[in-house]
Structure 1
């Protein structure tokens, strides 16, 4: 029993030490770069989570004559948006920063508006997601500028791919929402 108590006390001391240890990862980037890039990328990460939930919300609540096409489109797009989250968070950690930690953290940081309406017309869903994706592309460009300022080419190169993917989603949403005549929107 004494041995178990000693191990338990040693384990507690080890855990206590871990809680006090800083999470900073060694990097050759200056502290200001870690702070500024992490802030920019956490803003993007919050927007990614908000866009994921909104896209899923619209996917689940889609209706109308184009249900199948729109339902599948939004499912595909939500998967693509969600796939960005882990690489963004891991990139922040690689440069010594900390990531978002909770739903509250996401809510305080995100720039994409919620849509809690009981019913949204399918065309309005597509238009809203199109605008949200355009805004995400703009946020990604802003984050890219911060990375350029500090020479963080690794984060910048990831952002370039995400901008392309986001612009593709915007394009698909635009085309899916066209009326079918030459007037467009």
Structure 2
């Protein structure tokens, strides 16, 4: 005797919004890339925080810890914005890995100034991500996303600036 197995449709998230779903899907995709990159930059910043060495150890160690905390704080706001527009956000480390565009750094040793320069570029990549989100949000007439992404952009620009200044020669 064979039994027929019925597959139940996967439940959908039903967050109400008046914005068109196809436009929101593009905004959510861009937000999820920015979120994946934010997690990648967060983890790299913590990695470098843990492994920095040298005569400027204390200054770099504290700066990287502050920056990591700021990045982590932004991740929740990004994910919640995706949910507020009725879309699905990241679910796992694997999901992050599939979406991230920022390269990991698994090197056993990185010189302190190289760490800072790499993080500067990674934060500039986040700025690019956020500008892409802004453009798509404005096209979708998603004013809330368009507005909040300005703060995330400013924070990433500030981190890049601090990292740049820390690598300048006296």
Measured after TM superposition, the shift of residue 24 of structure 1 is 3.1
Which of 34, 45, 49 aligns to 1:55? It is 45
Aligned to 1:122: 112
Aligned to 2:3: none
1-structure distance, mates of 2:81, 2:132: 16
Pick the structure with more helix per residue: 1
CA deviations over 1:83-132 (Å, ceiling 9, x no partner)? 01111111101111000111000000001000000000000000000000
Unaligned runs of 5+ in 1: 1-16, 181-185
Q: How many residues in Structure 1 have an aligned counterpart in Structure 2? A: 163
2-structure distance, mates of 1:108, 1:137: 20
Task: For 1:35-184, list aligned pairs within 5 A.
Answer: 35-180=25-170
Question: Which has the larger displacement, 29-38 or 51-60?
Answer: 29-38
Quick check: which has more Rg, 1 or 2? 1
**Which aligned runs of 4 or more in structure 1 are off by greater than 4 angstroms?**
none
Cα RMSD between the aligned structures? 1.2
Unaligned runs of 5+ in 2: 1-7
Normalised to the residue count of structure 2, the TM-score between the two structures is: 0.93
